[in-house]
Amino acid sequence: MLASYIPILIFIVIAMSLPVVGLGVGRLLRPYLPHETKLMPYECGVDPEGDARGRFSVRFYIIAILFVIFDVETIFLFPWAILYNQFPLFLFIEMMVFLGILIVGYFYVWKKGALEWV
């Protein structure tokens, strides 16, 4: 019974050791020449101002999450557009319900002030 698990065990060992061996070989082969300029954070060719680990406002993250949510929601419009000719009335009503929920969510977020940057 345990003999049937040997290929799985071999696969796990190879899968765990491959990244470690690759990183180890890369560390041995690459040149290591640290320099102050190389260790500086890169900011589009401009000399950095202040610490690279600066603090961001929570509003920045809220707007970023809201953008991702509303952006992902619009992806659901593509299958609807492709299948629209097969079930025109049903898909139209279904998409209007979906867009209605999306618009209600958008107005809720807007009224809560989450889209205000400052």
Q: What's the rounded Cα separation, in Å, for the pair 99 and 26? A: 51
Residue 118 pLDDT: 58
Written as six digits, the tokens of 54 are 């600066």
In a domain, 71, yes or no: yes
Q: What's the rounded Cα separation, in Å, for the pair 23 and 29? A: 10
| Residue 35 in this model has a pLDDT that exceeds 70 | yes
| Residue 104 in this model has a pLDDT that exceeds 70 | yes
Residue type, 33: L
| Residue 100 in this model has a pLDDT that exceeds 80 | yes
Q: What is the CATH number of the domain that holds 80?
A: 1.20.58.1610
Residue type, 5: Y
How many residues appear in the chain? 118
In a domain, 69, yes or no: yes
Alpha carbons within 13 angstroms on the beta-carbon side of residue 83 total 12
- Portion of the chain with pLDDT greater than 90, in percent: 25
Please, what is the average pLDDT of the chain? 84
| Residue 117 in this model has a pLDDT that exceeds 80 | no
In a domain, 89, yes or no: yes
Residue-wise pLDDT tens digits, 23-32: 999 999 998 8
pLDDT confidence tier of residue 71, bands split at 50, 70 and 90:
confident
In a domain, 30, yes or no: no
